[in-house]
Amino acid sequence: MGVWLLPAVMLLGGLVLLATAADRFVLSAARLSKVWGVSPILIGALVVGMGTSSPELLVSVLAALSGEVDLAVGNAVGSNVANVTLVLGATAVLAPLTGSLRVLRREGILMFVAVCGFAVAVYDLELQRFEGITLLSSMALAAFLVVRWARADQRAGLAMPDDDDSTVSEINKGKEIGMGVLALLLTLLGAELLVRGGTDLASHMGVDSAFVGLTLVAVGTSLPELATSIAGVRRGEHDMVIGNVVGSNLFNALAVAGVAGTLGPGPIDPSFRLASLVMVGCAALAGLLAFTGRELVRWEGILLMCGFGGFVWLSYIG
């Protein structure tokens, strides 16, 4: 029992830091973006989505540098599955999640292509350096497209930012920059604790790091996405919620996996072949449900959450 205590404390401490510090980092980034006048889609996809994926990036970097490529890849795969099943599902259970068909077609299809590209890279059970570099280059292209589309929406008078001058005037830019930097540092600490605690605990329990990365670490690093999505749907910011999930999955599939492949290339666990197919299937299911009726309702949210439960079960028996 004693040998399990420290890893368990480290893991729980890392989860708490990731859930709180990353959320505060995103809050600061979103407030600064509001001051600078950015559309909700751009905030959701680039600021919130990629900001909430900073734990996944940090966890994968640390795992790749320590030779835990299974944990790094499993983190990215599991987080993508958690985003389109657990995050979208829990959000839809609270309130119907609606979005413009224009956004679903553009950003949704871009996300699906990115997820498929990531699945192709890991399907041969080896993540090579050139694949990592290709994924990172694709992330730059995806970010360019998201920014270009958001600017086009603004020129067309669509998805404009909130023009509440009284609220904007209350935002202290210096304070938000300082809080954002501090929150990012705490996120880094949380990622370090999570990687060390998760791998040590898995070793003591006789569970391989691939399963830990696909489930426990992936859910932990997806908590910021869940928190920001629930807050977004309560405020009626549905486009921002969709942008959050789309941007996060783009970042996981291209940047997080790309960094892992660039820094720590090597063979990966055979279970990732099935996991990658499940990841693509979950993304396709979420897109199909969103396209039908242009909204996610409660029963569809429950279906997506059940899908995540099935993914955990498959990961365990695999």
Question: What six digits make up the tokens of 5?
Answer: 């205590």
Answer whether residue 137 shows pLDDT above 90: yes
Distance CA 21, CA 161 (A): 25
Token couple for 66: 């320590």
Res. 34: pLDDT tops 80? no
Q: What backbone phi and psi angles, to 5 degrees, belong to 207?
A: -105, 135
CB atoms within 10 A of CB 39: 23
- pLDDT at position 161, please? 46
Residue 178 bridge partners (DSSP):
none
pLDDT band at 19 (very low <50, low <70, confident <90, very high): confident
Query: Looking at residue 250, what is its pLDDT?
Result: 92
Is it the case that residue 180 has pLDDT exceeding 60? yes
Distance CA 198, CA 195 (A): 5
* Three-state secondary structure call for residue 184: helix
- 134 pLDDT above the threshold of 80: yes
pLDDT for res 100? 65
Cα dihedral sign, 114-116-119-124:
negative
Give pLDDT, residue 1: 54
Average pLDDT, the chain: 81
30 compared with 130, residue with greater pLDDT:
130
pLDDT at 289 over 50: yes
Tokens of 167: 């609220």
Q: Residue 198 pLDDT > 80, yes or no? A: no
Mean pLDDT over 87-113 rounds to: 82
Q: What pLDDT does residue 99 have?
A: 66
Q: Would the pLDDT of 43 be above 80? A: no
Structure tokens at 190: 């949380």
pLDDT over 70, % of the chain: 85
pLDDT > 80? residue 138: yes
SS3 228: helix
Is 50 exceeded by the pLDDT of residue 318? yes
Q: Within 13 Å, how many C-alpha atoms sit on residue 157's CB side?
A: 0
Segments making up each domain of the chain, as ranges: 2-317
**Residue 296, SS3 per DSSP:** strand
Side-chain half-sphere CA neighbours of 295 within 13 A: 12
Q: Work out the end-to-end distance of the chain between its first and last CA atoms, rounded to an integer number of angstroms.
A: 27
Instruction: Name the least confident of 56-70, 232-246, 263-277.
Output: 232-246
The arithmetic mean of pLDDT across residues 194-201, rounded, is 77
Q: Considering only CA atoms, which of 36, 4, 13 is closest in space to residue 194?
A: 13
Higher pLDDT, 101 or 86: 86
pLDDT bracket for residue 193 (50, 70, 90):
confident
- Among positive and negative, which fits the CA dihedral 242, 243, 248, 253? positive
CATH of the structural domain 2-317, one choice from 1.10.8.60, 3.10.129.10, 3.40.50.700, 1.20.1420.30: 1.20.1420.30
**With 90 as the cut, is the pLDDT of residue 132 above it?**
yes
Dist. CA 46–CA 148, nearest whole Å:
12
Report pLDDT for 168.
64
Nearest by Cα to 152 from 283, 49, 41, 78: 41
What pLDDT, on a 0 to 100 scale, did the predictor assign at position 190?
Answer: 83
pLDDT at 314: 77
Residue 160 confidence class, pLDDT cut points 50, 70, 90:
very low
- Share above pLDDT 90 across residues of the chain, in percent, rounded to a whole number: 19
